[in-house]
Amino acid sequence: MDFGEVLSRAWQITWKYKVLWIFGILAGCGGQGGRGSFNFQGNGGAPGGPLPPGLRRFGIVLDRWFSSLSDVEAILLMVGIAVAVLLLVAVVLAASTVGRIGLIRGTLEADQGAAALTFGGLFAQVRPFFWRVLGLNVLLGVVLLLAFGSIAAFAAVFTVLTFGLGVLCLLPLICLLAPAAWFFGIVIEQANVALIADDLSIVESLARGWQVVRENVGPMIVMGLILTLGIGLIGGFIIALPLFLIVFPVFVAMFGDTAQVQNTGLLIAGLCFVLYLPVLLVLAGILRTYIESAWTLTYLRLAAPAAGPAAMLDAPAR
């Protein structure tokens, strides 16, 4: 495979069809019980000194409000928070799914020479694939979670039974988990592209994605290193770098000697974050668009001719 052609073509698509940035932002979207006291201290026993007056007063009010709740009210509050978290997770999963489908469909059309792409046109193509793509990624996420959870539980029990010596025996296994998860992520990428490009079912897309990766393991590993450890890691660090600078006023506030210094530091950090947030979203959307386009083109270049660039642009609903 011509890696240079794929990477340059992905950038051409990313820059020319800027509507894909919206789907990149969406794709970037995929993380108590009991009553208690927040214990905000007015005299500030923490190493950084007392909390800013405004924040301290808010914490005291919140602490008193939680302490005044009855058991039933506390349970209802916890249930409400749990429902809100589940709704938020559902919204994030839906947005991420829409973004992924839009990016892959947009790349397919762009690679076939589409003059222009529109948000409405791409969004209309989401529905036939939405539930299959969502089901595929949720299923793989659950499998991955169960696998790592089982390994972690086994490692904990084994370590306890061997009085801590067993962890030495498990080090090789632990070292293999990161590359195994990374390689599993490549298969997931190709399975998603296969599902959308070839209009497959969940099981068929998994088989197809694994087949393409297995038959082209060398190019896939090289492209994975370029996109994830190279462009993804370095690009993500550069995009997030201003956030580290924004944190500096927070440290000034934490170690400030006066309430005025603390309040000013927090205010500056908050304003800087609000101003940089739109820029952060756009840059992250561009980065995600480029990476997803590159993975889609990788599949199209490496898959068998019958399942290559001749993707169905008007795939029927299943």
Average confidence (pLDDT) over 299-303 = 92
In angstroms, the CA 11 to CA 26 distance is 19
Give 138-197 pLDDT, tens digit per residue: 998 888 888 888 887 877 777 777 766 666 777 777 778 888 888 998 999 999 999 999
The pLDDT value recorded for residue 13 is 94
Q: Which two tokens mark 223?
A: 């492209």
Query: What is the rounded (10 degree) CA torsion for 14, 18, 20, 24?
Result: 80
Q: Are 26 and 98 in contact (CB under 8 A)?
A: yes
DSSP secondary structure code for residue 306 in this structure: G
The pLDDT value recorded for residue 266 is 75
Confidence band for 40, pLDDT divided at 50, 70 and 90: very low
Residue 315 domain flag: no
Confidence band for 30, pLDDT divided at 50, 70 and 90: low
Give 206-228 pLDDT, tens digit per residue: 999 999 999 999 999 999 999 98
Residue 122 domain flag: yes
CA–CA–CA angle 148, 28, 175 (5° rounding): 30
In angstroms, the CA 164 to CA 179 distance is 25
What domain range includes position 191?
A: 3-307
Helix axes 202-215, 166-197, angle to 10 degrees: 110
Confidence band for 253, pLDDT divided at 50, 70 and 90: low
Alpha helices of the chain — where are they, by DSSP H? Answer: 3-16, 20-27, 53-67, 71-111, 119-124, 127-161, 166-197, 202-215, 217-224, 233-254, 259-302
**Does 107 score more than 90 pLDDT?**
yes
User: What residues contact residue 121 under an 8 Å CB cut-off, 6+ apart?
Assistant: none
Give 259-281 pLDDT, tens digit per residue: 666 677 778 878 888 899 999 99
Residue 317 domain flag: no
| pTM for the model | 0.78
Residue 91 domain flag: yes
CA distances, 20 to each of 14, 103, 127 (Å): 7, 6, 17
In angstroms, the CA 188 to CA 168 distance is 31
Residue 316 domain flag: no
Helix/strand/coil percent split, the chain, to 5: 80, 0, 20
Residue 318 domain flag: no
Buried-exposed string 120-141: b where 16+ CB fall within 10 A, e elsewhere: eebeebbebbeebbbebbeebe
The pLDDT value recorded for residue 24 is 92
The pLDDT value recorded for residue 58 is 57
Question: Number of structural domains, the chain?
Answer: 1
Residue 218 domain flag: yes
Which of 33-42, 72-81, 255-264, 306-315 has the least mean pLDDT? 33-42
Three-state secondary structure call for residue 296: helix
Mean pLDDT estimate for the chain: 81
Residue 314 domain flag: no
In angstroms, the CA 248 to CA 254 distance is 10
Instruction: Identify which of 33, 188, 10, 208 has the alpha carbon closest to the alpha carbon of residue 106.
Output: 10
The pLDDT value recorded for residue 257 is 58
